[in-house]
Amino acid sequence: MARLVMKFGGTSVADIDRIRNVAHHVRREVEAGHEVAVVVSAMSGKTNELVGWCRAAAPLHDAREYDAVVASGEQVTSGLLAITLEGIGINARSWQGWQLPILTSNAHGSARILDINGAELIKRFKERKEVAVISGFQGVHKDTGRITTLGRGGSDTSAVAIAAAIQADRCDIYTDVDGVYTTDPRVVPRARRMDRIAFEEMLEFASLGAKVLQVRSVELGMLHKVKIFVRSSFDKPEDIDPHGTPPGTLICDEEDIVEQQTVTGIAFSKDEAQISVRHVPDKPGVAAAIFGPLAEASINVDMIVQNVSADGATTDLTFTVPSADFQRSVDVLNKSKAAIGFDHIDGSIDVAKVSVIGIGMRSHAGVAADAFKALAGRGVNIRAITTSEIKFSVLIDAAYTELAVRTLHSLYGLDK
C-alpha cells in the first residue's frame, strides 16, 4: 500500500465526462489499497473566464477580491469530483485551501505556500478510508483570513506541497501529455519520452520554456524529496496496473538515475525580446542604473551581454526580457535615460532562446563548442550565450528556432 497525491489539470476535468474519467483513475488506486489525495484545477477555460469577469467589473480591481473570484473555479471542480466519486462507491470529501489549511504569504495572485497541516487528511485516511479532493491553486493568509491564489499553474505547486505535508510516496501529475520529452514532439517528431529526469534538469526545462510543470512545483519536489510522476489522464483507467510502474516520466534525485546521458534534452522559448542599450558610459554603477529600475518594475531580465569598450569611454549592454515586457522595459529605461546616460536603445521581439540541458555536462568538456559548430554549419547566427553548470542557452533569430532545435537534438543523439 502507498500514499499517493493525484493532480489533474484543467483539460483533464474539462467537463463532466472527463471528471468521470478522473474518478475511475482514482477508484483504480483506491481499490489497489492506496491512500489517495486528489488535487484539481479549474475546468478548462474557467479561470480565464473568471479573470475576464474581474477585468470587466473594474480594470483596477482589488487583488484580494480577484483571488476570491478566481479561486472559485477549483472549488467547483473539487465538489463535482467528490460527488462523482461518491456516486461510484468511493468515500470522498472536498476540501478548499482554507479548510486544511494551506497557509500562504499575503501576495494575492502570486502567493507562496508557507505551511500545510496534513494531520486531518492522514487521520481520515486511517479512520474512514476517505479520499481527499482538494482545490488546487489556492490557500489562505493566516493573519487576514483572506483567500489567496498561487499564480497560473499553481495547482502543480499545491499538489507537490500537499504530497510533502502528508509524506506521500509519490505525486502523480496527470496532464494532457504522457510524460516529459527530450524536446517538443511537434517540432521534432522523433523526440523521445524520458523514463526519468533529475530534479535539476526538470527545473531548467520548466524555467526555459517547457510547459509540463510549474517551476515552483519542481523546486518544492527537490527541496522535500517528493518523487513526481508526469503521466497522461487520457490513458484508459482500466488499462493501467496500479501495482506496476505507470507509463510516464519520473522526476527524482540524480542518484536515482542509473545511466545518465551527457545531454538530456532541448528546450526553447519564443517568448523573448532583446534590448540593446547603446553607448553607455563605461564606469562603475551603470549596470545598477539600468537593471535597478527594471527590477523595481518587476521585469525579469535573463541573458546579459556587455561588449568590451574599445575607447574606455562607452560600451553597449544587451539583455533579454519576456516579449510581453518589451515595450514596458523600453519605457522604464527611457524614463531613466538621464541617470544612465545612454545614447539610444535598439530592440527586437523576433528572437528565440534555445537551451541544451543535461547534468552529464558537468563531467564532459566541449558540449557547447559542438553545438556552436553545428549551428554555424546550418547558417544559424548566435546573438548571445549564457551558461550554467548543467545547461547553456543561445539567443537566435526566431525564424531559425525549429532548425536549431532539430540540429541540436540530432547532434546529441536524442532521436535514437
Strand segments (E) across 1-73: 3-8, 35-40
Kindly state whether residues 28 and 107 are assigned to the same domain: yes
Answer whether residue 123 shows pLDDT above 80: yes
Chain position carrying cell 533579454: 320
* pLDDT at residue 284 in the model: 87
Kindly state whether residues 251 and 178 are assigned to the same domain: yes
221, 255, 289 - which closes a domain: 255
Question: Residue 309 maps to which CATH number?
Answer: 3.30.2130.10
pLDDT in tens, 340-363: 999 999 999 999 999 999 998 887
Task: Give the pLDDT band of residue 255 (cuts 50, 70, 90).
Answer: confident
255, 280, 315 - which closes a domain: 255
DSSP 84: H
Percent of the chain with pLDDT over 70: 99
pLDDT in tens, 357-369: 999 888 787 899 9
What cell numbers appear for 112 in the block? 507562496
pLDDT in tens, 77-121: 999 999 999 999 999 999 999 999 999 999 999 999 999 999 999
Answer whether residue 410 shows pLDDT above 90: yes
Answer whether residue 260 shows pLDDT above 80: no
Answer whether residue 388 shows pLDDT above 90: no
Kindly state whether residues 320 and 395 are assigned to the same domain: yes
Mean pLDDT (the chain, rounded): 92
* pLDDT at residue 214 in the model: 84
197, 229, 255 - which closes a domain: 255
Answer whether residue 334 shows pLDDT above 90: yes
Kindly state whether residues 134 and 8 are assigned to the same domain: yes
Kindly state whether residues 238 and 316 are assigned to the same domain: no
Kindly state whether residues 38 and 162 are assigned to the same domain: yes
Question: What DSSP string describes 310-330?
Answer: SSSSEEEEEEEEEGGGHHHHH
Classified as helix, coil or strand, 208 is coil
Domain enclosing residue 367, as ranges: 266-411
How large is the average pLDDT for residues 379-389?
Answer: 91
Question: Residue 49 maps to which CATH number?
Answer: 3.40.1160.10
Q: Which amino acid is at 292?
A: G
Q: Would residue 416 count as lying in a domain?
A: no
Kindly state whether residues 198 and 331 are assigned to the same domain: no
Kindly state whether residues 210 and 122 are assigned to the same domain: yes
Answer whether residue 56 shows pLDDT above 70: yes
For the entire predicted model, the pTM comes to 0.86
Q: Would residue 238 count as lying in a domain?
A: yes
Q: Would residue 142 count as lying in a domain?
A: yes
Q: Which residues contact 346 (CB under 8 A, 6 or more apart)?
A: 275, 276, 278
What cell numbers appear for 284 in the block? 562603475
Kindly state whether residues 314 and 385 are assigned to the same domain: yes
Answer whether residue 209 shows pLDDT above 70: no
Kindly state whether residues 35 and 146 are assigned to the same domain: yes
Kindly state whether residues 87 and 53 are assigned to the same domain: yes
Helices H / strands E in the chain, number of each: 13, 18
Q: Would residue 261 count as lying in a domain?
A: no
Answer whether residue 314 shows pLDDT above 90: no
Number of domains observed in the structure of the chain: 2
Q: Would residue 331 count as lying in a domain?
A: yes
Answer whether residue 210 shows pLDDT above 70: no
Q: Would residue 96 count as lying in a domain?
A: yes
Distance (Å, whole) CA 170 – CA 396:
39
Higher per-residue pLDDT: 414 or 210: 414
Instruction: Give bridge partners of residue 281 from the DSSP assignment.
Output: 314
How large is the average pLDDT for residues 185-211?
Answer: 88
Q: Which amino acid is at 336?
A: S
Answer whether residue 308 shows pLDDT above 90: no
CA atoms within 13 A on the CB side of 276: 13
Q: Would residue 69 count as lying in a domain?
A: yes
* pLDDT at residue 247 in the model: 81
How large is the average pLDDT for residues 237-247?
Answer: 79
Question: What DSSP string describes 126-156?
Answer: HHH-PEEEEE-SEEE-TTT--EEE--TTHHH
Kindly state whether residues 8 and 36 are assigned to the same domain: yes
Chain position carrying cell 513526481: 228
How large is the average pLDDT for residues 278-302?
Answer: 90
Q: Give the total residue count for the chain.
A: 416
Classified as helix, coil or strand, 325 is helix
Distance (Å, whole) CA 71 – CA 121:
21
* pLDDT at residue 365 in the model: 79
Q: Would residue 260 count as lying in a domain?
A: no
Distance (Å, whole) CA 173 – CA 9:
8
Task: Give the pLDDT band of residue 248 (cuts 50, 70, 90).
Answer: very high
